[in-house]
Structure 1
Amino acid sequence: MSGLLQHSGCYEEGRLLRVAEKLPCREIQAGMLLSLLGEPGQYSFPSIFIYGHRATGKSHVMQTLLTELELPHATVSCVECVSVALLFEQVLLSLFGSEATSLLPRSPSLSDFVRVYRQQCSLCPAEQTRYIVMEKAELLRDMDANLLPTFLRFQELVDDNVTVILLSEIVWDKFRPNTGCFEPLQLHFPDYSKAELQQILSQDSHPSYSPDLYASYINILLGVFISVCRDLRELRHLAALNFSKFCEPLEEGKVKESDTPKLWRNIEPHLKKAMQTVYLREVSSVQWEKLQQTEEKETGVMRGLSAHAHVELPYYSKFLLIGAYLASYNPARTDKRFFVKHHGKIKKTKTFMKKHEKTSNHLLGPKPFPLDRLLAIFYSVVDSRVAPSASIFSQISALVTLQLLTQVGHDDQLDAPKYKCAVGLDFVRAMSRTVNFDIVKYLYDFL
């Protein structure tokens, strides 16, 4: 709150109090934004660049300030604006109304947008600064090359008291156009710390239980998930989804709210299972609640909660992952035997058997393999089913992003990247059955 009051300017203290209540752990950033925006009747800086990781409060802080302080603004999502024309219409509609959008031609250019905006400014002079907020602004780089430089100095082009605010998940150094542009003011939103996440999530306490119980539940949840996830939205979703399981012993009367160790022992295995579904939305909330109530009769262990057991991949990606598994667990010298026709027979004499006596590769774990070996196996196992296309490289990157493949080696090895397969035998066998491929026949350990 002190950060907001320090930059309060002419804003009422009551409004700032309401803003502070809605922005826990972001008072410093909100105060800095107020100082950058300045007084309502004065010219503000032409453009502001706000960056930070996903779910760090960028959009929430910006919208809360503009809404609570009743500042004229237009908020545009660059994801939803699939064309430049739609983007122009959204800005004009929010700031000037539907009459302004009717003045645009069917396929408006950037100059048409600037002309219509200037006309509306002459009809409706700005009593205070107007704000244009662009979420997911990194997508502007894929649009017209002149679009981003124009918005960065939009105030000068339209001769109006307007500030363009860009919200992005990437830093400005990777955002800046190669042709050069006006440099915006930059503001960084850091990731929430564990204490801040605890404070924010604890505010969502359940009305049927005490706030202290919910706070202890959030502490347990963060203890499990903080190492793999700091996304506030993801954590809030997980907290709401698993709270009913946490409260089961309380509803059955087995423990009291103060008996945290017993509550922890009840929820711990469940949260570890749930951790496998972080970011992989293959299980809906309704399905998850049903799975919570489904238990194996013999073992008492919940069924079907593994994310890898449910993830569905594109057709090519399945064969790429099959090829990666074969490359990780088969010696390279056996590739010719498995994937080349008429390779010749290998006579297994006593000398040969003693020389090649082996320990199971599955016990030793996956071994790294080069990209060209993966592609060679991929083309062999796909065979005549489909004609492979150039999109397989992007699918390899997607498998790495999903942590089904792991890229190994140094960053300077750009010409020969190496990978490891990060899935188990049960998963790859289940997936290979969906494409009618018997992977066991191609594994050296099972000969």
Structure 2
Amino acid sequence: YSTKSTNHYPSIFIYGHRASGKNITLTVLHHSSSSLQLPHATVSCVECVSVALLFEQVLLSFFGCDAASLLPRSPSLSDFVRIYRQQCSQSPAKQTRYIVMEKAELLRDTDANLLPALLRLQELVRKCSNLIVTVVDCMCVPPSVCLFIGELQQILSQDRHPSYTAEFYSSYINILLGVFYSVCRDLRELRHLAALNFSKFCEPLAEGKVKETDTHKLWRNIEPHLKKAMQTVYLREVSSLQWEQMQQMEEKESGALRGLSAHTHVELPYYSKFLLIAAYLASYNPARTDKRFFLKHHGKIKKTNFLKKNEKTSNHLLGPKPFPLDRLLAIFYSVVDNRVAPTASIFSQISSLVTLQLLTQVSHDDQLDAPKYKCAVSMDFICAISRTVNFDIVKYLYDFL
């Protein structure tokens, strides 16, 4: 619709899976500054950890530092509306102002009336200015909204290599999606994986061993390589060239490092490594053993009393068990080298591990008071991570007593 029209929707809600085009709104606004002259404020709800920062960012973008400085130390929504009205009367806008909030689902953790009030902000300030609040990616998208495999296949096939036919590249994309679609439906990540592994897929052709139509032999050649690459989904710790170099080095190595994939070399923040170690211990150790492993003055406990009678099944064979957040933090504070205060940074690193799929949240999103997780890494991975922080994890594993 026309930007000069006075009949605007008070808010626009844009949602969708990653790489589905939500940020086209930001692209239009950023590139229209000179042509359409659309005043806008872009607010990242991840960076604005408080309501005060959110209000300050909006006023700063529209009116400058002087307007932002008028906010009190702990501003309310009424304070923001009052200052906004005052600034609009002094500096009226010729065009509609736009507030774009990214990751606005985080506003649900603030006051219950904040997000509804922001969505109806035009009603509060319409006497002095047209205003549209655009909410980008307000909530998680159900699986039915994600790109289907057929759509992904069509999009990825458009990136075909000019040296090969469209049918050949399409067959490669089908093989790639057959491996990765169950764990990754992010278009950007799949495009990265397609470019990363295509040279390996073409190796038998370059050597003259097979033809383009021999899909079965091409599949057998690429399958082990794709399974290793699946362990690095979302990590992006290596570039395409580095991945090939590490694979060549891996084939030459022997001993303890032989057979480990590139994901064991991933670099994480220092405390994230200990959080992941704590998560692994919580997943594979029974909760009743925490006192034995992590309490310094637990007294003498005989091994015969400590172990259950006839307990022979390995916890590693049974797979990781879910654990609550408080148990993860208790183990983390026990194994980390120095004293760490429970800050927001620690909790954000847990969220990052979930995003990287190194941890899996098994509780529902509405169970905010007691979230539960599972560790999603292998024994080789956690041993490699433990070595980087000089932590002997084997001594703390129940299966290796």
TM-score of the pair, normalised by structure 2 = 0.71
Q: Is the counterpart of residue 362 in structure 1 residue 328 in structure 2?
A: no
The residue number in structure 2 matching 1:219 is 174
CA distance in 2, matches of 1:65, 1:105: 22
Is this contact kept in 1: 2:10–2:119, CA < 8 A? no
CA distance in 1, matches of 2:22, 2:156: 17
CA distance in 1, matches of 2:175, 2:366: 40
Is this contact kept in 2: 1:329–1:362, CA < 8 A? yes
CA deviation profile, 1:185-231 (whole Å, cap 9, x unmatched): xxxx9422222222222222222222222222222222222212222
Task: Give, in angstroms, the shift of residue 352 of structure 1.
Answer: 9.4
Is this contact kept in 2: 1:50–1:165, CA < 8 A? no
Q: Is the counterpart of residue 49 in structure 1 residue 16 in structure 2?
A: no
Task: Give, in angstroms, the shift of residue 264 of structure 1.
Answer: 2.2
* Letter of the structure 2 residue corresponding to residue 255 of structure 1: V
Q: Is the counterpart of residue 238 in structure 1 residue 193 in structure 2?
A: yes
Is this contact kept in 2: 1:59–1:167, CA < 8 A? no
* Letter of the structure 2 residue corresponding to residue 78 of structure 1: V
Q: Secondary structure at the match of 1:296?
A: helix
CA distance in 1, matches of 2:16, 2:90: 33
Q: Is the counterpart of residue 381 in structure 1 residue 321 in structure 2?
A: no
Aligned pair count reads: 372
* Letter of the structure 2 residue corresponding to residue 200 of structure 1: I
Q: Secondary structure at the match of 1:277?
A: coil
Q: For residues 204 and 365 of structure 1, do their structure 2 counterparts lie closer, same or farther at Cα, with a shift above 3 Å needed? A: closer
* Letter of the structure 2 residue corresponding to residue 366 of structure 1: P
Q: Secondary structure at the match of 1:250?
A: helix
CA distance in 2, matches of 1:412, 1:85: 30
Q: Is the counterpart of residue 337 in structure 1 residue 337 in structure 2?
A: no
Task: Give, in angstroms, the shift of residue 170 of structure 1.
Answer: 2.0
Is this contact kept in 1: 2:250–2:260, CA < 8 A? no
Task: Give, in angstroms, the shift of residue 236 of structure 1.
Answer: 1.9
CA distance in 1, matches of 2:126, 2:261: 56
Residues 29-428 of structure 1: pairs in structure 2 closer than 5 A = 37=1, 43-60=7-24, 73=38, 77-79=42-44, 107=69, 109-111=83-85, 114-115=88-89, 118=92, 120-121=93-94, 132=98, 134=100, 136=102, 138=104, 141=107, 148-149=118-119, 152-153=122-123, 156-158=126-128, 164=132, 166-171=134-139, 190-291=145-246, 293-294=248-249, 296-297=251-252, 305-307=261-263, 309-341=264-296, 343-346=298-301, 355=309, 358-382=312-336, 385-391=338-344, 392-408=346-362, 417-428=371-382
* Letter of the structure 2 residue corresponding to residue 164 of structure 1: I
CA deviation profile, 1:131-190 (whole Å, cap 9, x unmatched): 8473626289589x6993575459944566xx7362511249x9xxxxxxxxxxxxxx94
Task: Give, in angstroms, the shift of residue 296 of structure 1.
Answer: 0.7
CA deviation profile, 1:228-280 (whole Å, cap 9, x unmatched): 22222222222222222222222333322222222222222222222222211
Q: For residues 298 and 195 of structure 1, do their structure 2 counterparts lie closer, same or farther at Cα, with a shift above 3 Å needed? A: same
CA distance in 1, matches of 2:18, 2:150: 18
Is this contact kept in 2: 1:78–1:136, CA < 8 A? yes
CA distance in 2, matches of 1:190, 1:63: 23
The residue number in structure 2 matching 1:16 is none
CA distance in 2, matches of 1:164, 1:434: 50
CA distance in 2, matches of 1:412, 1:209: 49
Is this contact kept in 2: 1:46–1:164, CA < 8 A? yes
CA distance in 2, matches of 1:280, 1:44: 42
* Letter of the structure 2 residue corresponding to residue 316 of structure 1: Y
CA distance in 2, matches of 1:352, 1:204: 59
CA distance in 1, matches of 2:312, 2:20: 51
Identity rate of aligned residues, in percent? Answer: 60
CA distance in 2, matches of 1:336, 1:438: 18
* Letter of the structure 1 residue corresponding to residue 284 of structure 2: Y
Is this contact kept in 1: 2:11–2:120, CA < 8 A? no
Q: For residues 332 and 53 of structure 1, do their structure 2 counterparts lie closer, same or farther at Cα, with a shift above 3 Å needed? A: closer
Q: For residues 151 and 296 of structure 1, do their structure 2 counterparts lie closer, same or farther at Cα, with a shift above 3 Å needed? A: same
CA distance in 2, matches of 1:244, 1:153: 57
Is this contact kept in 2: 1:77–1:134, CA < 8 A? yes
CA deviation profile, 1:97-128 (whole Å, cap 9, x unmatched): xxxx799868585236534663x52xxxx7xx
The residue number in structure 1 matching 2:398 is 444
Q: Secondary structure at the match of 2:251?
A: coil
CA distance in 1, matches of 2:380, 2:281: 14
Q: For residues 339 and 158 of structure 1, do their structure 2 counterparts lie closer, same or farther at Cα, with a shift above 3 Å needed? A: closer
Is this contact kept in 1: 2:105–2:139, CA < 8 A? no
Is this contact kept in 2: 1:194–1:222, CA < 8 A? yes
Structure possessing the higher radius of gyration over alpha carbons: 1
CA deviation profile, 1:391-420 (whole Å, cap 9, x unmatched): 444444444443333444677876655544
CA distance in 2, matches of 1:43, 1:199: 39
TM-score of the pair, normalised by structure 1 = 0.65
Q: For residues 346 and 43 of structure 1, do their structure 2 counterparts lie closer, same or farther at Cα, with a shift above 3 Å needed? A: closer
Q: Secondary structure at the match of 1:247?
A: helix
Structure 1 gaps, min length 5: 1-36, 92-100, 175-188
CA deviation profile, 1:10-62 (whole Å, cap 9, x unmatched): xxxxxxxxxxxxxxxxxxxxxxxxxxx37987845444322222211233488
Is this contact kept in 1: 2:121–2:133, CA < 8 A? no
Structure 2 gaps, min length 5: 71-82
